[in-house]
Structure 1
Amino acid sequence: MSFSSLPLEVLVQVLSYLTPTDIVKANRTCKSFYSASRVTKLWKTVCDKEHNVTVEQIGSSSFEDFYTKVLHHYGQTLGLWQMQIEHYGGLLSVKVVNGEIIATQLLPPIDPEVWMPFKRKDLFKISVDSEGKTEVNCLQGSGGPHKIEIMKGNSSNQFSVQCKQPEKHSKSKNREEKFASWIRDEVGIPPEHGVQGYQMELLKIKYLSIQQYESSCSFTCLQPINSLSNVPIQPGLFKGTYGGHGVEVIQLTYEGNRLHGTKVSGDPNVPAGKRSIIVHLDEPLVLNREQQRDLNSIKQLQNEGCSLPEGQEAPARQPFSIPFGIEDRGFVQLCEQKDIPTDFCRARYFGTGLIAMHGFRNSSRTDCHLVIFDEDVFAFLWMELGSLSVYSRADDFL
């Protein structure tokens, strides 16, 4: 029996076990395989198997065209990426939407609104035009889509982009207007309405730094994190408050009996990529309200040793209060938004936080407490800084 005598649906099934490259080779061997290779169902299977791309994402586009002209060349860019911007990092989501690959920068919300969704800025897209040609366009600026080059990195976990017409990025010829517009997006108010002093200096430094990466930037893949059992809080991405630096993104991961919070976005003091938080899961804490009265009370307990005795289980719920004199970086507001009680927590652990001067000079780790309220919310008490940062799970990048 020859292949030509087999039903078309059988040939399609046979081809579905091949790699896309081998499918193209097979369709040149005979008319039967050529006909089978043009069946939409086959390319639906390829798109799903290779890149988890579904009918809903493709829309009215041809699956074969989309795979051979877009996914085959640029499918490796799909996923979640850390932007390689000095000090500041950043988050990039690349997805298939309506038959196009769209790359969107996910910008943290205005401080301290960690409960709010990311602000979104489309950076580039890859699509097939009406003539069947692949288009790779930069979407920045008001000059309309224009050419951008996407280059593979040294591994599949890296890529970079280079805009070919960066002059189209500027929304205004006036530099002051452009800066004022950026300030409004960054902090929610015009610069003349209360942005001054140290905060203005930090914003100027950030603005000048990120402008250097507008037309050229590299990206490193953020590996997917699976759910775990028997952990105090599931790993993942969280938005957190960092005082004058605003809201930043960290990634929680586990390593043995340590919980790490690594910065995905950062600042000139503690840059992206550094471990902002290290939590000692073998040092659970239980404090009553009197012991949390003020920072001196907590420090005294710390010196005396306040961890639970080995083998003793922590209660499912314990008292919590913000010590007198501690700066609240959005905790009460977040609890109001999420309807979380402010006077109880689920768990508390000893840990350390990374602090440094500008330029990551004189970096050191300082005593802190991790306080968990539910699966999506935790706080970090920075004792040396006298502040309480709050973190909310970031799940709106999916």
Structure 2
Amino acid sequence: MERCACLSAACSSRGCLCRQQRQGPAETAAPAPAEKHVEADAAARCCAGSGGIASPRPPPPPPRCSLQDLPVELLVEIFASLPGTDLPSLAQACTRFHSLLHTDSIWRRRCREEYGLGENLQDLEVMGVSCREVYTQLLHPHRHLLGLWQLDTEPYRELLKVAVDGLGITGWKYLPPHNRRVDGRMQLKPSFRIRLTERKSATAECRAGCSSRSHSLHIQVQKDQFTTQCNRIDHRRMSGCSGTNFPNWVRAERGLEDRLLSYHHSDCLTYRRLYLPPSHPDDLIRPGLFKGTSEAGSLKIAMLSFQGKYARATKITGDPGIPAWKETLEIHLRHRIQLPNVKILRNFNVLSRIVRAMHEQVVQEQQEEEDRPEDSEGHGWQGPAQPSIGGSGAAALEEQPAHSFVLPAGVRSSDQNCPRTYRMCFYGVDMVTFYGFAYTQRFPGIVFLFDENHFGFLCLDLKCFLLYSRVQDTFRNVEAPSPQAFLEMLENVQSLPLGGAACTLKI
């Protein structure tokens, strides 16, 4: 009995010693592979019957599977779905990955998904350029240039959109429509272009100025700004706001008057990045860029954003009377104005009394808020923005009944094609700083929301109506990283002097 217990304690995964001692030398030879599991089970039963404890067998290791063992087609599909910034590191993993990453279909998909380049890729074979070269030599190195920019060295502050164009990157400057109407499409004129040369290297060409012949251009990109240096000695730019010597091509482009402009030699220009305002489902209309008429009859571009209990249309391009960023139409979303019928809208005196009463109410509420230092409601992006209209956002605006719109007697408008109906109207105030003045003037009035793409401001003090129409264009790479980043961008740009920043380019 004792001998059996000792043998049971000596059992192991290689078999039971009790059985081995009962077998001869020939019988104790190594079992065949097919019999190993049978012997292990028998050993376990032997140990269990004799009171011993069997050691658990470890599970067999999983079969070895490597990414390199996958078929080529599957690897190409996996690599094509990865961001292009991850592919260089992947190419250093092994020789096979490095070879596969020369497959053009991988880079063709990256060019299409990351930069919207699609239809023109079929022309690459004729040019002898691969999608990989387009991505690595052109698109990726100049990705920080893509977006919306503004020239900060002149009062006009022209807008520049840098976008992928065909098999290159083009900087397009916005010009007013030919017909000077808010519903007309903006003109786009090339300012510069970056393309691949025959040596598969990217080069920048300047296409601005009075000469249509392109010439070399140096571009230096910094954080949220870039600077250009034109190498053509007879290439001239605009700067300043007074004088009489001004080239005809600039006057024709912008519709500016000689008495408000000067002509300076400036080949070094600095552009600052602009973000479009973030949108929220509760916004009555989609924020963005709008063309607007001005009191002087020219067109301006304003940026509409919703900020707490206000909506603000900030002018971002200048005109003969008001510099860029020196005019803001502030819409008080909590102060909705009800006009029962079109007869009241026609009567200028009645409208003046309505706006005057609303203005006094707003001033009183603002004074009460100043007396409460802890009250910051509505000053940030998270403040309640919309009035109580039984819904939220654009859907609520469309649900509002349409009211007839006419200009009051004695009110003038630069654009005679005003919408005939409106949905809602609010109290608003236009805050303007004119050329040569240090203080801001405030003009109260009524803001009309016509539809998703149109709104207007009736300024009672000046007896004029300003119409705004959305800039119908496609923008990429213009989203602000956060609402706070957009507000900081507004604050930084509005604080710039009229002369702009100094040139920091070093050649």
Q: TM-score range by the shorter chain?
A: 0.7 to 0.9
- The aligned runs of 1:117-196 (5 Å cut-off) are 117-141=185-209, 142=211, 144-153=213-222, 155=223, 157-168=224-235, 179-187=247-255
- Displacement of 1:255: 0.8
Number of the residue aligned with 2:348 = 295
Aligned match of 1:23 = 87
Residue type of the alignment partner of 1:53: G
1:314-365 deviations in Å (ceiling 9; x for gaps): 95222432122212121x2x34xxxx42xx3211110110123313432122
1:240–1:58 distance in 2 versus 1, CA, 3 Å: farther
Task: Answer yes or no: is the 8 Å Cα contact 2:156–2:318 preserved in 1.
Answer: yes
| TM-superposition CA deviations, 1:191-243 (whole Å, max 9, x none) | xxxxxxxxxxx62255526x656x33222223244554343322111100113
SS of the equivalent of 1:381 reads strand
**Does structure 1 residue 96 correspond to structure 2 residue 181?**
no
SS at match of 2:285: coil
Checking the alignment, whether the CA contact within 8 Å between 2:355 and 2:446 is kept in structure 1 is no
Distance (whole Å) between structure 2 residues aligned to residue 346 and residue 233 of structure 1: 11
- Structure 2 counterpart of 1:109: 177
Q: Which amino acid aligns with 1:352?
A: V
Give distance in 1, aligned partners of 2:469 and 2:456: 9
What residue in structure 2 maps to residue 74 of structure 1?
142
What is the CA distance between 1:20 and its match in structure 2? 4.2
1:220 is aligned to: 272
Counterpart mapping for 1:39-50 below 5 A: 39-49=103-113
Q: 1:278 deviation in Å?
A: 0.6
Q: Measured at CA, do residues 351 and 168 of structure 1 come closer, stay the same or move farther in structure 2, by a change above 3 Å?
A: closer
Task: For residues 15-43 of structure 1, give each alpha carbon's deviation from its aligned partner in whole angstroms, at most 9, with x where no partner exists.
Answer: 44666455334435543122211111221
Pair member with larger Rg: 2
Deviations 1:353-389 (A, max 9, x none): 0123313432122202111222111211122222111
Match of 1:321 in 2: 406
Q: Which residue of 2 aligns with 1:65?
A: 133
> Which amino acid counterpart does residue 103 of structure 1 have in structure 2?
G
- Conserved? CA contact 2:246–2:258, under 8 Å: no
Output the CA distance in 1 between the equivalents of 2:388 and 2:93: 69
Query: Contact conserved, 1:143 with 1:168, CA < 8 A, in 2?
Result: no
Deviates more, 1:217-226 or 1:372-381: 217-226
Letter in 2 for 1:11: L
2:59 corresponds to which residue?
none
Amino acid at match of 1:264: I
Whether the 8 Å CA contact 1:127–1:135 is kept in 2: the answer is yes
- SS of the aligned residue for 2:135 comes to helix
Deviation at 1:168, TM superposition (A): 4.7
Amino acid corresponding to residue 168 of structure 2 in structure 1 = E
| SS of corresponding position for 1:42 | helix
Partner of 1:193: none
TM-score (norm 2): 0.64
Greater strand proportion: 1
Distance verdict in 2 for CA 1:140–1:371, change over 3 Å: same
Bigger drift between 244-253 and 16-25 goes to 16-25
TM-score scaled to structure 1, two decimals? 0.80
Is the Cα contact below 8 Å between 1:83 and 1:91 reproduced in 2?
yes
Structure 2 portions without partners, runs of 5+: 1-64, 125-129, 238-243, 362-386, 391-396, 476-507
Per the TM alignment, residue 126 of structure 1 is displaced from its structure 2 partner at its CA by: 0.7
The letter of the residue matching 1:379 is G
Tell me: CA distance 1:305–1:14, structure 2 relative to 1, closer, same or farther (3 Å). closer
Q: Write the distance in 2 (CA, Å) between the matches of 1:166 and 1:10.
A: 55
Question: In the TM superposition, what is the alpha-carbon distance from 1:110 to its structure 2 partner?
Answer: 4.8
Q: How many residues align?
A: 364
In the TM superposition, what is the alpha-carbon distance from 1:277 to its structure 2 partner?
0.7
Amino acid at match of 1:223: Y
How well do the aligned residues superpose, as a CA RMSD in angstroms? 3.0
> Is contact 2:115–2:164 with CA below 8 Å preserved after alignment?
no
Deviations 1:117-169 (A, max 9, x none): 1112101111111221211111124262211111112x2x3222221224256
Alpha-carbon distance, 1:312 to partner: 7.5
Q: Gapped runs of 5+ residues in structure 1?
A: 171-175, 188-201
Q: Would the alpha carbon gap of residues 397 and 114 (structure 1) be closer, same or farther in structure 2, given more than 3 Å must change?
A: farther
Say if 1:57 and 1:97, in contact at 8 Å, map to a contact too.
Answer: no
Q: 1:378 aligns with which of 435, 455, 463?
A: 455
Q: CA deviation at 1:85?
A: 3.7
Task: State the one-letter code of the partner of 1:44.
Answer: R
